[in-house]
Amino acid sequence: MSGIAELLLSEGYVVSGSDAHESEITKRLEELGAKIGYPQKADNIPDDTDTVVMTAAIHEDNPELMEARRRGLKVETRADFLGQIMRGYDMPVAIAGTHGKTTTTAMVSEILLASDMDPTISIGGNLRDIGGNFRVGGRRYFVMEACEYTNSYHSFYPKVGIILNVEPDHLDFFHDIEDIRRSFHKYGENIPDDGVLIINKEIEGFDEVAGGLKCRVVTFGTDDSADYHAENITYDEFARAAFDVYHDGNKRSITLGVSGSHNVLNALSAIAAADELGIDDDCIRMGLQNFKGTDRRFEVKGKLNGFTIIDDYAHHPTEIKATLSTALKYPHNELWVVFQSHTYTRTKALLDEFADALSLADHVISAEIYPARETDTLGMSGEVIAEKVREKGTDCYYFPTFAEIENFIKETLTDNDLLITMGAGDVVKIGDELLSGS
């Protein structure tokens, strides 16, 4: 929402908004000319308001939304409003997938920045080179992360669309994997005839997602049957990949600035998108090599008592496997993971898969589940996860509070151990508090 506000302010619109409390983000918006109210209340909506834009997190009993309805104001979702903004750009690029969206959006953004193409960027994480999650650029290129939850990306009409993967997730909204595939197919249908869908050829149910689309379809993958594929993959001592990309019989050598084999696939899709935008090879190489990751994506936080602390946003079994596979290539003695599952529905639906993925670590510490928007536990808890991980033969502990976890870590981890705090909730606080000495 802050990014949309900043974009509108840059174009001369009068913008107001609200939040529960003041933050660095709201301070910046006020400096740019926005009027911000605290907390959320009906009086925050000015008399001369034309349109109210709300996120999916806003419920019908929100006082500002109720006031907007009472006054008969035009109310739009963030996704619909962002989709309208996209239509004002010559070349909108949208990156979708069950996971990897933030990293790949950042890769595409870095390539465009390296080529001085002045993109407008909307990303789901903090990209250091733009100082946040939004960049106001020129009117030609708009690069954005496209989330499938609540089908919000159905409001987007990209000229270049990417689908990284399609797997079971957000099962509090989607019925099953078939429903998810239909949703991604609809996203592909929004791409115009003269546009292109760049899609992972290894997606299970590929034809259900990509079949029958009116746009051109370009594939990427590890197999040489894909339009873009990687060979001769090697890794340095910090698990950063170097590889050769083959496309139309041509070979290019690429070195990544981020760790992990999963980022080879992310990079292949970014390279394909860059080719569609006509970016030269030197800028593609430079953008990918200079990209060092976004916040909370295998982010090295620091060292304490000789062990290294890394934080990662992984909250789906496939993401966890990718992160831990990367960690196994990273210098360490014992690999420890503090895992905080995100939502009870996801935990219940994927409990066995979570246990399988976490068993790649030497030791697991299970925190309480981060409920997000949910109130029904469905019988799930951090202790249930710990029991399931132990069934896999992996050393696992459960503590109900962060304070207990932090004390255990300080008493247990030793020189050259590697600790990863993992999850989409507030588990990042554990590493921050350990390093701050609090």
Domain span at 62: 2-76
pTM value is 0.84
**pLDDT (tens digit per residue) in 170-181:** 888 899 999 999
Can you tell me the mean pLDDT for 199-228? 96
Both tokens assigned to 399: 């503590």
Residues 228, 136: one domain? yes
125 band by pLDDT with thresholds 50, 70 and 90: confident
| Cβ 377 vs Cβ 343: under 8 Å | no
- Between CA 358 and CA 352 the distance in angstroms is 10
Q: Residue 228 maps to which CATH number?
A: 3.40.1190.10
Residues 390, 409: one domain? yes
Closest by Cα among 42, 77, 223 to 150: 77
Residue 81 lies in a domain: no
Q: What pLDDT is stored for residue 438 in this prediction?
A: 62
Can you tell me the mean pLDDT for 179-190? 97
Residues 304, 170: one domain? no
| Cβ 182 vs Cβ 205: under 8 Å | no
**pLDDT (tens digit per residue) in 266-323:** 999 999 999 999 999 999 999 999 998 777 778 889 999 999 999 999 999 999 998 9
Can you tell me the mean pLDDT for 112-120? 96
Residue 27 backbone zone (phi > 0: left; psi -120 to 50: alpha; other: beta):
alpha
Phi, psi of 88 (to 5 degrees): -85, 0
Residues 325, 278: one domain? no
Can you tell me the mean pLDDT for 102-118? 96
Closest by Cα among 330, 347, 297, 298 to 169: 347
Residues 127, 274: one domain? yes
From 18, 49, 76, the end of a domain falls on 76
* Angle formed at CA 346 by CA 342 and CA 352, multiple of 5 degrees: 110
Counting Cβ atoms within 10 Å, is residue 171 exposed (0-12), middle (13-18) or buried (19+)? middle
From 243, 271, 290, the end of a domain falls on 290
Q: Residue 17 maps to which CATH number?
A: 3.40.50.720
Asked whether the predicted pLDDT for residue 213 surpasses 70, the reply is yes
| Cβ 346 vs Cβ 171: under 8 Å | yes
Catalytic residues: 101-102, 145
- Between CA 244 and CA 195 the distance in angstroms is 26
Q: Which residue has the tokens 């996801």?
A: 346
Residues 209, 316: one domain? no
Name the residue with higher pLDDT: 155 or 125. 155
Both tokens assigned to 429: 């606080």
Residue 82 lies in a domain: no
Counting Cβ atoms within 10 Å, is residue 12 exposed (0-12), middle (13-18) or buried (19+)? exposed
Mean pLDDT of the chain: 94
- Between CA 387 and CA 375 the distance in angstroms is 22
β-strand pairing of 240-247 with 250-259 = antiparallel
- Between CA 196 and CA 218 the distance in angstroms is 7
Q: Residue 372 maps to which CATH number?
A: 3.90.190.20
Counting Cβ atoms within 10 Å, is residue 207 exposed (0-12), middle (13-18) or buried (19+)? exposed
437 band by pLDDT with thresholds 50, 70 and 90: confident
Residues 252, 380: one domain? no
Residue 164 lies in a domain: yes
| Cβ 310 vs Cβ 299: under 8 Å | yes
144 to 83, 157, 191, 221: CA distances (angstroms): 10, 11, 14, 22
| Cβ 188 vs Cβ 212: under 8 Å | no
Residues 210, 66: one domain? no
Residues 212, 128: one domain? yes
From 229, 260, 290, the end of a domain falls on 290
132 band by pLDDT with thresholds 50, 70 and 90: confident
Residue 395 lies in a domain: yes
Residues 45, 104: one domain? no
> Could you tell me which residues come within 8 angstroms of residue 148 by beta carbon, excluding any fewer than 6 positions away?
96, 98, 170, 180, 183, 184, 187
Q: What pLDDT is stored for residue 355 in this prediction?
A: 97
Helix (H) or strand (E) run with residue 27 in it: helix 24-31
Can you tell me the mean pLDDT for 192-198? 98
Closest by Cα among 186, 250, 239, 197 to 220: 197
Q: Specify the number of domains making up the chain.
A: 3
Identify the DSSP state of 276. H
12 band by pLDDT with thresholds 50, 70 and 90: very high
- Between CA 24 and CA 425 the distance in angstroms is 20
- From the centroid of its chain, how far is CA 225? 28
- The percent of the chain in helix, strand and coil, each rounded to the nearest 5, is 35, 25, 40
**pLDDT (tens digit per residue) in 15-37:** 999 998 898 889 999 999 999 99
Task: Give me the torsion for CA of 398, 401, 404, 406, rounded to 10°.
Answer: 100
Closest by Cα among 82, 96, 80 to 187: 96
| Cβ 143 vs Cβ 122: under 8 Å | yes
Residues 284, 258: one domain? yes
Residues 135, 275: one domain? yes
